[in-house]
Amino acid sequence: MRAPSLGRRYGELRSGLRFVSRLLGSRHNPLLAQVVVTRRCNLSCGYCNEYDRHSPPVPLAALTARIDRLAALRTAAVTFTGGEPLLHPELDQVIRVARRHGMLVTLITNGFRLSRPWIERLNAAGLQGMQISIDNLRPDEVSMKSLVSVERKLALLAKHAKFKVNCNSVLGVSDARTQDVVTIARTAAKYGFQHSVGVLHDHTGALKPLSEVQIRAYATVTQISPSLVHRLNYRLFQKNLMHGRPNDWKCRAGARYLYVCEDGLVHWCSQQRGYPGIPLLEYTREDLRREYATQKSCSPTCTLSCVHQMSMLDRHRGRQPIADPVSTRRVEPAASAEAGGR
């Protein structure tokens, strides 16, 4: 990857310091919001329940208003997602809006639509991080996100991107594809990128234990691409989940972490869509305080790393006296399962 300019490095430092200050300074501001810019995707993977084939991009004016509202709530970071966010023709303009507010800005993509012009647009907009989902070496009926399809895109990123790149893979699909994840991690390292592993979950976000083959592969991958954040996440969450054991933690979804769907509604996460279901433009600090203090009955077997990470530092502060408001809450229909790295 091309070295970032002094100005960009200074901007990243300021964003990082702002993130830390908002983590330590208050319990009642979001650390991360995942914002859907389009539900449409150019792929159709068997385990994913976060896409359709027809939805139009969310209008730029609507996305700008949502980012402005997140800024008013003192949100530290935003991740743009989908569907496939690179299907949004004005994605770089949305990134500019978030960067003007001083937020850390990242993107989750399957990488298929990456090109040098797109990379240059993302550079110019100030994107700070990209996660590319790669699950296997060759596409199959479970996942179309294959290394053979995007390795040329990785080479383009290595040559032109000024932002950090992380390749994320899913473990738990099948033993037959497990070794693929190790190859993907080695390929990511070859291009100078990080690699992370998500644990497969079902349509509610709950765990699916790994086999012994998959656990050994996980250990190998984490040696290829060591990371303090991933190591901490493993000790606090993934170790139990990989063996089918629940975790005892306080999920702060709806407060520290927000999932904003294409309709502009706030949900606990991508796998618990439907609650609280409040328009982001109407979301207040009272909503943040309530959801911070609300128990989530799905949390013991949750595999969503992004929610884990945004909640882990509030582990021992702030009780949750409010019972789960809808213990039998409706979860949107899902075809199969989805990756915990999202």
pLDDT on residue 172: 64
Task: Output the six-digit token pair for 296.
Answer: 């989530």
Q: b/e string for 180-200 if b means 16 or more Cβ within 10 A? A: bbbebbebbeebebbbbbbbb
d(CA 95, CA 120): 13
The structural domains of the chain, with segments of one domain joined by +, span 6-314
Crossing angle of helices 147-160 and 116-125, rounded to 10°: 50
pLDDT on residue 339: 40
d(CA 214, CA 40): 31
**What would the mean pLDDT of 185-208 be, rounded to a whole number?**
80
- Quickly tell me which residue has 């594809």 as its tokens: 177
**H/E/C letters for each residue in the chain?**
CCCCCHHHHHHHHHHHHHHHHHHHHCCCCCCEEEEECCCECCCCCCCCCCCECCCCCCCHHHHHHHHHHHHHCCCCEEEEECCCHHHCCCHHHHHHHHHHCCCEEEEEECCCCCCHHHHHHHHHHCCCEEEEECCECCCCCCCCCEHHHHHHHHHHHHHHCCCEEEEEEEECCCHHHHHHHHHHHHHHHHCCCEEEEEECECCCCEECCCCHHHHHHHHHHHHHCCCHHHHHHHHHHHHHHHCCCCCCCCCCECCCEEEECCCCEEECCCCCCCCEEEEHHHCCHHHHHHHHCECCCCHHHECCHHHHHHHHHHCCCCCCCECCCCCCCCCCCCCCCECCCC
Residue 1 has pLDDT above 70, yes or no: no
Top pLDDT among 186 and 199 is at 186
Residue 338 has pLDDT above 50, yes or no: no
Percent of all residues in the chain with a pLDDT value above 70, rounded to a whole number: 85
Whole-number mean pLDDT of the chain?
Answer: 87
Which of 11-20, 109-118, 216-225 comes out lowest in average pLDDT? 11-20
The pLDDT tens digits for 16-67 are 666 666 665 678 899 999 999 999 998 887 777 788 888 999 999 999 999 9
The predicted model scores a pTM of: 0.88
d(CA 111, CA 90): 17
312 residue type, one letter: M
CATH for the stretch 6-314: 3.20.20.70
Please state, in angstroms and as integers, the Cα–Cα distance from residue 338 to each residue in 45, 108, 233, following that order.
9, 14, 19
pLDDT on residue 6: 61
Which residues sit opposite 81 in a β-bridge?
Answer: 36
Nearest to residue 111, comparing CAs of 90, 137, 131?
A: 131
The pLDDT tens digits for 161-180 are 999 999 999 876 667 778 99
Residue 141 has pLDDT above 60, yes or no: yes
Q: Find the angle CA(76)-CA(61)-CA(42) to the nearest 5 degrees.
A: 85
**What would the mean pLDDT of 5-19 be, rounded to a whole number?**
62
Confidence of residue 303 (pLDDT cuts 50, 70, 90): confident
d(CA 132, CA 169): 9
Who contacts 231 (Cβ-Cβ below 8 Å, separation ≥6)?
A: 222
The pLDDT tens digits for 212-230 are 888 899 999 999 999 888 8
**What would the mean pLDDT of 291-319 be, rounded to a whole number?**
91
Confidence of residue 140 (pLDDT cuts 50, 70, 90): confident
Who contacts 63 (Cβ-Cβ below 8 Å, separation ≥6)?
A: 35, 37, 94, 97
**What would the mean pLDDT of 180-206 be, rounded to a whole number?**
83
Confidence of residue 266 (pLDDT cuts 50, 70, 90): very high
d(CA 273, CA 265): 9
**What would the mean pLDDT of 63-80 be, rounded to a whole number?**
97
Confidence of residue 316 (pLDDT cuts 50, 70, 90): confident
- Quickly tell me which residue has 């996440």 as its tokens: 233
